[in-house]
C-alpha cells in the first residue's frame, strides 16, 4: 500500500510540474511575439541562461529601418498570471 501511495504522489507531482512547464515560451513563440509587437523582421536570436532563468535575445529590423534587440523571458511570469486570473474573475 505505501508503494501505491508513493506512485500516486509521484504522478501527481509530475502532472503539476508538466503543467507549469507547458506555460513557458519556446524560442519560436518568443520570435512570433516580438514580430507581432514590433511589426519587424527577426534577424538573429540567441538563448541566454542565468541560473534557472532562460532569456531569448531577439534582434529585429523595425519597419523604420532600425535594428532593435528585444529580450524575452522564457519562463512565464507567475505573478502576471495570477493577476490576470484575478481580473478575469471580477
Phi-psi group of 73: left, alpha or beta (phi > 0 → left; psi -120 to 50 → alpha; rest → beta):
beta
| Structure confidence at residue 31 (pLDDT) | 95
According to CATH, the topology of domain 25-89 is Nuclear Transport Factor 2; Chain: A, (3.10.450)
Percent of residues, the chain, with pLDDT higher than 90: 54
Residue 50 in grid coordinates: 542565468
The pLDDT of residue 78 is above 90: no
Residue 30 in grid coordinates: 518568443
CB 16 within 8 A of CB 23: no
What is the model's pTM?
Answer: 0.60
| 60-to-10, 21, 70 alpha-carbon distances in Å | 43, 27, 8
> Mean of the per-residue pLDDT values for the chain?
78
Percent of residues, the chain, with pLDDT higher than 70: 60
Domain ranges of the chain: 25-89
CB 75 within 8 A of CB 54: yes
| Structure confidence at residue 13 (pLDDT) | 57
- Which 8-state DSSP code applies to residue 52? T
Amino acid at each position: 500500500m505505501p508503494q501505491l501511495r508513493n506512485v500516486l504522489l509521484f504522478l501527481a507531482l509530475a502532472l503539476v510540474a508538466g503543467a507549469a512547464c507547458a506555460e513557458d515560451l519556446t524560442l519560436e513563440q518568443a520570435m512570433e511575439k516580438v514580430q507581432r509587437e514590433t511589426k519587424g523582421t527577426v534577424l538573429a536570436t540567441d538563448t541566454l541562461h542565468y541560473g534557472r532563468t532562460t532569456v531569448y535575445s531577439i534582434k529585429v529590423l523595425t519597419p523604420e529601418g532600425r535594428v532593435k534587440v528585444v529580450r524575452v523571458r522564457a519562463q512565464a511570469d507567475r505573478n502576471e498570471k495570477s493577476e490576470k486570473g484575478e481580473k478575469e474573475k471580477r
